[in-house]
Structure 1
Amino acid sequence: MARPMLDTIGPKHVAIIMDGNGRWATMRGRPRLFGHHAGARRVREVVEACPDFGVKYLTIFAFSTENWKRTQVEVAGLMSLFRRYIMKEMQAFVKDNVRVRFIGDRVRLDAKLRGLMDEAEDFTKHCTGVNLTIALNYGGRDEVARAAQRLAFDVKEGKLDPAEIDLETLPRYLDTHVLPDPDLVIRTSGEARISNFLLWQSAYAEYEFLDTLWPDFGAEELGRLCAKFGERDRRFGAVKA
């Protein structure tokens, strides 16, 4: 059955903290990785729904810099899932005209995964539909620190005048420098915190915190939130005359 099109002005860039996979699995008496696999399958539905609601950019939080603290078994399982997901979905991304990018620090990731990430980005670079950005080994503070390091290096090399650094300068050094800032940030699973996600970029984003666990989140709920976004009066600090 066709999904209804959004008839209000919705967000162009939606960012999602996909939380609740482990709890979803535990509630069903299954291991946490079972929930992560279910969550990965849910991504396809959400990506496919984006054009219906006018969403041009979708950024998803897949693995944070803090997630390395989880058990070795879970981390290894997640890395295996990421490799398989990229290999399995690459053709589908092209078929659906989805351009894929990755943000985060790739240094700690294994060589095979890094190679697949590079391949997916190159394989889909001609796609002009939804821009899917996957945050992998990503942390907002880590991103800003790495950006500051690159900026400082350019100052040292004489490529950048410290006196000319302003609010427009740092974003050019962020992982997301080719992306617009998110309009709407969604977090599933009932937690009401941003967990180090897109700290600089989401300064003026609208937030939605849902009780829904990520494997239960779908196109219908995305559409509802996009419609709700369209009803908001976004003034960015100004007031109407």
Structure 2
Amino acid sequence: MATLASVLASAFIRSFLPFHAVQAQCSNRNSCKPGRGALVIGRVGVSSLDAVKGSSKFARYSAVCKASEKDTVSKARNFQLEATQLLAELLKADDIKSTAEKHVDSLSEDFFIIASTYLDLAKKEGNLEVVSKLETTLRTALEVKETTLRPEIRLLNQLLRETAEKDRASTIQTNVQYLSSDSYFFQLLSRMIKDVESQKTNPNQLRLLTQLRMINKETREVAKAMKRK
């Protein structure tokens, strides 16, 4: 477990959102919390910033923006720390399922995103022991979380895990009750496709889009066949 602990500690430091990234977001005056100073800046325009930098209004605007930066960074750091601590607890647990059930409310989408970041880092470093442990832990945690999700979400997750067409076909036929043309399943699937399409820097974008579009094609064919009956 010492190896796992050191990997998590190292990954936490390297994957944490840099402060300058938040500063860059806040440098856009429209992204800061609207206040009297921010409204003034908005009226005078970017080209006039130098002229108002010495004013008390600009000082108030700057204070609001800096406070917003620090608050955003603090919240991000705290959340990532909490997610890392939960992941560490799951990794060292003798009964992963029981521990995951105890913390099921904290097994959010963001938790799995952060945990997946650690998994990717472990893969890049070639640490097979850590990769295996993380994969087993996250798979169990996801299974526990899925018991609390809507059946349509569980269906989509299962289809994404199945690589063989015959397996997906079997799963689809078992869950046809969720495949009416206006169902929540297709709303969810459409949103997910659009979301992945917008992730231009995601190295897994092409693979995910291929999977999602195939699932969309296969499930809509079944939905159309049901409608014709």
Q: TM-score, normalized by length of structure 2?
A: 0.29
Higher helix share: 2
More strand by share: 1
Structure with larger RCO (C-alpha < 8 A, sep 6+): 1
Which protein is bigger by CA-based radius of gyration?
2
